[in-house]
Amino acid sequence: MHCPSCGFANPEGVKFCHECGVPLQHRCPRCESENPLPAKFCGQCGTALKGQPSAPAPRAQSAEQGLPATPRAAVPRAAEGERRQLTVMFCDLVGSTALSAQLDPEELRAVILAYQETCAQVIRRLEGHLARYVGDGLLVYFSYPQAHEDDAQRAVRAGLEIVAALPQLNTRLQQAVRILQHSPLQVRVGIHTGLVIVSDMGGGGYRDPMAIVGETPNIAARLQEKALPNSVIISPSTSRLVTGLFECQDLGPQTLKGISTPLTAYKVVRESGAQSRFEVAITTGLTPLVGREQEVGLLLERWARAKEGAGQVVLLSGEPGIGKSRLVQVMKERVAAEGATRIEFRCSPYYQNSALYPVIEHLQRLLQFAPQETPQVKLTKL
């Protein structure tokens, strides 16, 4: 049987050409009987056999070596980009150029490594993605590849915690690097939230599988340049997402290099007392609770039993956003109206590795400890 594609003479009974691999028989789409290649209709059921099998593309040969070229499927292709909202943090070391002129390269390397590790520990704990070291700066993504509902809050918290970790780092480094006693390490942090395209990019021997394209990282970097040493600056889009969770100072419109219109910047001063966005919403007023009479009635029934001396435990669970916190708030208001003492403990995703954190946090709020207070002041309050 001669192959219709390459003309090779194949022995009778074979199903594929020995030379080029083209199918030599038609399979009927109705009865699945095998038919010889020239047949136009099935010999078993009479069904029309449409189309002829096509030959596979011949494998290209290397011009120099005469070897098969790399298959087309094996050539890496850039993956299609993913469009998503990202919070980007850019953290840069202040005065690193002057520091490099005063330190031996080995000392400078040790200092920068210690600084990078301190930043990386904070970023890992808050589940950000340290995308790249840019000189002595850090480019960090929040919301990719792992997304959270509070990524903007995590980014701002990370910036504040990096600044807060520097005094301890300086104390440790100053014992070995005396220059740091006069010029301690300082950082500037810029944060912006916006749309980006995430995709595999690069060329030559380097490819970045999670590169981002868009003005978001550029704005974060430019905001960082406007920050004072050991301060965190955020954009309006980030500020809207963390309103009420942090105390911020309006710095007014800022002209950023490469950005056509001035952008209002906000300096993050400290965390507010609010522990969640729901607490922030309470301060602005809640809408009436509708359609939860049965659930509220069940909670009030359990509360009545507890007042009679029969201890009760209620587990309230459900999908995010269905109103669990709203139901708890109703019960808190009822309990407070009756003059009962309420003790509230809260877990936090930011302190998963802190033993007994809910108890510690409750005592700190009860005693009104402030983050900037010294241990002696806190001991006096205790």
pLDDT of the residue at 116: 93
The band of 76, judged by pLDDT with boundaries at 50, 70 and 90, is very low
Name the DSSP class of 338.
Answer: T
Of 18-32, 197-211, 237-251, give the range with the top mean pLDDT.
237-251
Tell me: pLDDT of 77 over 50. no
Q: Cβ(234)–Cβ(240) under 8 Å?
A: no
Q: Cβ(296)–Cβ(327) under 8 Å?
A: yes
Whether 332 maps to a domain, the answer reads yes
Whether 122 maps to a domain, the answer reads yes
Higher confidence at residue 274 or residue 1? 274
Poorest-pLDDT segment among 51-60, 133-142, 368-377 = 51-60
Q: Give the CB-side neighbour count of residue 333, counting CA atoms within 13 A.
A: 10
Grouping H, G, I as helix, E, B as strand and the rest as coil, residue 163 is helix
Residue type at position 260? S
Overall number of domains in the chain: 3
In this structure, the answer to whether residues 37 and 91 fall within a common structural domain is no
Please tell me the distance from the alpha carbon of residue 290 to that of residue 322, in angstroms, as a whole number.
12
Residue type at position 230? N
In this structure, the answer to whether residues 229 and 314 fall within a common structural domain is no
Look up the domain containing 205 and give its range.
82-274
Please tell me the distance from the alpha carbon of residue 179 to that of residue 219, in angstroms, as a whole number.
33
Tell me: pLDDT of 143 over 60. yes
When pLDDT is averaged across residues 344-354 and rounded to a whole number, the result is 80
Question: DSSP string covering 179-213, please?
Answer: HHHHS---EEEEEEEEEEEEEEEEETTEEEEEEEE
Whether 198 maps to a domain, the answer reads yes
Q: What pairing do the DSSP bridges indicate for beta strands 25-27 and 34-36?
A: antiparallel
Name the DSSP class of 350.
Answer: G
When pLDDT is averaged across residues 296-303 and rounded to a whole number, the result is 90
- Which residues are CB-contacts of 8 (< 8 A; sequence separation ≥ 6)? 2, 17, 18, 19, 20
Helices (H), the chain: 96-102, 105-125, 151-174, 179-182, 216-226, 236-241, 277-284, 293-307, 324-337, 357-366, 375-381
Whether 61 maps to a domain, the answer reads no
In this structure, the answer to whether residues 36 and 137 fall within a common structural domain is no
Tell me: pLDDT of 169 over 80. yes
In this structure, the answer to whether residues 181 and 247 fall within a common structural domain is yes
Please tell me the distance from the alpha carbon of residue 128 to that of residue 153, in angstroms, as a whole number.
11
Among the candidates 274, 295, 314, a domain finishes at 274
In this structure, the answer to whether residues 184 and 113 fall within a common structural domain is yes
In this structure, the answer to whether residues 348 and 304 fall within a common structural domain is yes
Q: Cβ(99)–Cβ(187) under 8 Å?
A: no
In this structure, the answer to whether residues 226 and 350 fall within a common structural domain is no
In this structure, the answer to whether residues 264 and 324 fall within a common structural domain is no
Q: Cβ(169)–Cβ(114) under 8 Å?
A: yes
Whether 51 maps to a domain, the answer reads yes
Poorest-pLDDT segment among 16-20, 144-148, 270-274, 338-342 = 16-20
In this structure, the answer to whether residues 356 and 319 fall within a common structural domain is yes
- On whether the pTM is more than 0.85, the answer is no
Burial class (CB in 10 A: 0-12, 13-18, 19+), 328: middle
pLDDT of the residue at 5: 66
Name the DSSP class of 146.
Answer: S
State whether the Cα torsion 323-327-328-329 is positive or negative: positive
Whether 140 maps to a domain, the answer reads yes
The band of 64, judged by pLDDT with boundaries at 50, 70 and 90, is very low
Length of the chain equals 382
Whether 68 maps to a domain, the answer reads no
Whether 63 maps to a domain, the answer reads no
In this structure, the answer to whether residues 250 and 209 fall within a common structural domain is yes
In this structure, the answer to whether residues 87 and 163 fall within a common structural domain is yes
The band of 69, judged by pLDDT with boundaries at 50, 70 and 90, is very low
Please tell me the distance from the alpha carbon of residue 232 to that of residue 279, in angstroms, as a whole number.
24
When pLDDT is averaged across residues 132-146 and rounded to a whole number, the result is 89
In this structure, the answer to whether residues 155 and 115 fall within a common structural domain is yes
CATH number (domain holding residue 113): 3.30.70.1230
